[in-house]
Amino acid sequence: MIEPMRPIVVAGNWKMHTTPSDAGDLARTIAARTREAGVIRVICPPFVCLAAVGDAVRDEDVGVGAQTVHHEAHGAFTGEIAAPMLRGLATWVIVGHSERRRDAGETDDLIGRKLDRAVENDLRPILCVGEQLADRDAGRAAEVVDGQLRGALTERDPAALAAVGLVIAYEPVWAIGTGRNARGVDASAMADTIRTTLDGLGWGERATRLPVLYGGSVTSANIGEFFDEPSIDGALVGGASLKPDEMAGIVARAALTARARGLAA
């Protein structure tokens, strides 16, 4: 059964691309080409481009997100960005992306503390989870994602996270830039695992209403397979989010799903 209250979300993660001089034009172009009813659009540029992107989409119904946030509210953390610093610049934040886990050594406990800072500052978090290739091949994919969720969410208030609009993105690390693709059924099974874990953590009906996105080398050519799955509610887009044609195709396909689910006329 399709849960009609779950929104369709397409978020673009620009990673370490664009500069303040060109980010605004790119954001403006993408916003103009992705105006579709029933789809929540979010652009997550580098920190230095947040203001430029925010100015560019000020008159568009497009959210602006940060790619990470520090787990403390302030302190002697050279080069880091605290959640209060994002006020007026972002309303969304990506937490626990696989590249942050890999390159910055972020643990599930630390990611949970980042979620705390997001809640305190009314930032809507996109929590990323996903397994490595060795885990998938060993049949441990569901176990790994369950552990990531429990590590980040145990002892955190489901009502507070639901109120701020938590979104979870499933990103199988083995399908990102490797040439090996996940299938819609893989993502659907993991979405079910995610909601089962949340239910076990006391989320109850909130688990059925939480949007689950797919993120793993998403393109306009492959996204249809994932949107065909009733348990998938959007996409976290990496490299393709820098290409207006690709984003237009992805959001257009998302809009078809939104209409099919009664979220748009």
Q: Which residues are marked as active site?
A: 97, 171
Q: How far is CA 108 from CA 31, 145, 181, 234, in A?
A: 33, 11, 26, 23
Instruction: Report the alpha-carbon distance of residue 42 to residue 91 in Å, rounded.
Output: 9
Instruction: Report the alpha-carbon distance of residue 233 to residue 227 in Å, rounded.
Output: 7
Which structure tokens are listed for 246?
């690709």
CB-based contact 187:170 (threshold 8 Å): yes
Nearest residue to 250 (alpha-carbon basis) of 9, 27, 2, 7:
9
CB neighbour class for 104 (10 Å; exposed up to 12, middle 13-18, buried from 19)? exposed
